[in-house]
Structure 1
Amino acid sequence: MLTATAVLATALPAAAAQVDAAVAIQQQGRLEARGAAVTVPTRVMCQNGATGSLWVQVTQNVRGELAIGEKYTPSVPCTGEFHKVDVTVVSRTKAFRQGVAFTSASLNVYLPPDNSSTVEEEREMMLVR
């Protein structure tokens, strides 16, 4: 006869370990095509052997209206070292302008067979030409 603890232990999966990962948004983004897009420089790090994807969003108040864009990058390098990843975000509303914008980045990392991690950063970024 199995004890309740033994039954519970076999019914629950082992806790997944955290995967090493980090994302950092740089201080300045570069306006492209007269503000139709902005290149957002990021630095990403994910554990060697993992796979990573990156999502970046930029929001800016332009004369009382919001310029908003986002970009999904399905694959980033995962070597255990930091890598520079430039993400070009196209506005889906109105043109970005020089000045401050709010930027967020989310790095999702998966390490087989069942370990995953998500790290995020949010910051104000200066958009320049």
Structure 2
Amino acid sequence: MRAISAFVLTAAAILATALPASAAQVEAAVAVQPQARLEARGAAVVVPTQVMCQNGATGSLWVQVTQNVRGELAVGDKYTPSVPCTGELHKVDVTVVSRTKAFRQGVAFTSASLNAYLPPDSSGIAEDNREMRIVR
């Protein structure tokens, strides 16, 4: 019985050293601010966000806005391929253009996703989902 236990432990140790180490997590955070600004008679909204990603990483940001406008959805999204990654908070204003109908003043639901990558194989994702108020 002891020979089998020793064999199992030895095999497990060899297997553990043969497997690659898991990728480290990159620090990342995103926060959608509670108020957005209506632009171009509702064709777009400017969504202020705050982002933070680890110094030396590269970051990209995706923001989506959905609003119920008289029973129909106004929806738009915007991908920002590069945001500052210094380890500090940065304000990033994202202009989201509606793909359906015009946005209007009032409540909308907003989702934001920050992807951060640090070569050679470290990454991190941060998300924020919240209601925000669209104002003029």
The alignment status of 1:9 with 2:20, answered yes or no, reads no
- In the superposition, the TM-score normalised over structure 2's length comes to 0.90
Give the drift of 1:15.
1.2
CA-CA distance at 1:8 after TM superposition? 4.5
Instruction: Give me the whole-angstrom Cα distance separating, in 1, the residues matched to 2:111 and 2:40.
Output: 22
Deviation at 1:9, TM superposition (A): 2.5
Equivalent residues, number: 126
Aligned to 2:68: 61
- Is 1:49 the equivalent of 2:37? no
Which one-letter code corresponds to 2:60 in the other structure?
Answer: S
Amino acid of the structure 2 residue aligned with 1:102: F
2:132 & 2:88 partners in 1: Cα distance? 24
Distance in 2 (CA, whole Å) between partners of 1:52 and 1:111 is 9
How far is 1:7 from its partner? 3.7
Equivalent of 1:26, from 24, 30, 33? 33
Q: Could you give the per-residue CA deviations for residues 66-109 of structure 1, whole angstroms, max 9, x where no partner exists?
A: 00000000000000000000000000000000000000100000
Inter-partner Cα distance in structure 2 for 1:23 and 1:90: 20
The alignment's C-alpha RMSD in Å is 0.9
Alpha-carbon separation, structure 2, partners of 1:75 and 1:84: 13
CA distance in structure 1 between the aligned counterparts of 2:33 and 2:24, rounded to whole angstroms: 29
Q: Which runs of 4+ in 1 moved over 4 A?
A: none
Amino acid at match of 1:90: V
Kindly provide the amino acid, as one letter, of the partner of residue 119 in structure 1.
A
Partners of 2:92 and 2:45 lie apart in 1 by: 13
Q: What TM-score do the two structures reach when normalised by structure 1?
A: 0.95
Larger Rg: 1 or 2?
2
After superposition, where does 1:67-86 map in structure 2 within 5 Å? 67-86=74-93
